[in-house]
Amino acid sequence: MQKKYLSKADALKRMQRYCAYQDRCHYEVRSKLLELGVYGDTLEEIMAELIIDRFLDEERFARSFVRGKFRLKKWGRVRIKRELKLRKISAYCQRKGLEEIDEQEYEATLHAILQKKLAEYQRKYDSFQSGQKAGLYAQNRGYESSLIWPTLRKIQEEQAEK
């Protein structure tokens, strides 16, 4: 089956709808254009036009991506950074995006995740194992070890006092 040729105007219109639906990064839009069979100068012209018309904005994408992944999926900075790198977001835009995370909110979220997992694991394992498993869970969610272990110790001390 042969692919139907897409004119520049049609491809631009489709990409405008694609970008208006949700913030996109350059990598996603470029991949979508290649998937549609748009190559070379036409692809570059469409990308440039999307940027000029503010349909594409890497910094805006990074900021909304970070907000969404942290607030909705409760991801840590390490995982968010890795995902931004996979999408070929510049270091500058990564830094700007990570500014969206409030430090107190970040620590409170980590505390809540650890508390929940600790309670869950304490039903099955001894306190050392449950602490290790909760810590590893938080690491897999992308939180920094330098924050996880002191927070975990603090939670365990609070529980021991009760």
- pLDDT at residue 3 in the model: 59
Residue 72, helix vs strand vs coil: coil
Q: Going residue by residue through the chain, which has 162 residues, state the pLDDT in tens, using 9 for 90 and above.
A: 455 678 999 999 999 999 999 999 999 999 999 999 999 999 999 999 999 999 999 999 999 999 999 999 999 999 999 999 999 999 999 999 999 999 999 999 999 999 999 999 988 988 889 999 999 999 999 999 999 999 999 999 988 887
What's the rounded Cα separation, in Å, for the pair 132 and 152? Answer: 9
Q: Are the C-beta atoms of residues 111 and 158 closer than 8 Å to each other?
A: no
DSSP secondary structure letters along 126-143: -HHHHHHHHHHHHHHTT-
Q: Please, how many CA atoms are within 13 Å of residue 60, restricted to the half-sphere of its CB? A: 11
Sign of CA pseudo-dihedral 21, 2, 41, 7: negative
- pLDDT at residue 160 in the model: 83
- pLDDT at residue 5 in the model: 76
* Cα-based distances in Å from 83 to 101, 126, 129: 16, 34, 30
- pLDDT at residue 161 in the model: 84
Residue 125: DSSP 8-state: S
- Going along the chain, which residue ranges are E strands? none
- pLDDT at residue 119 in the model: 92
74: left (phi over 0), alpha (psi -120 to 50) or beta: left
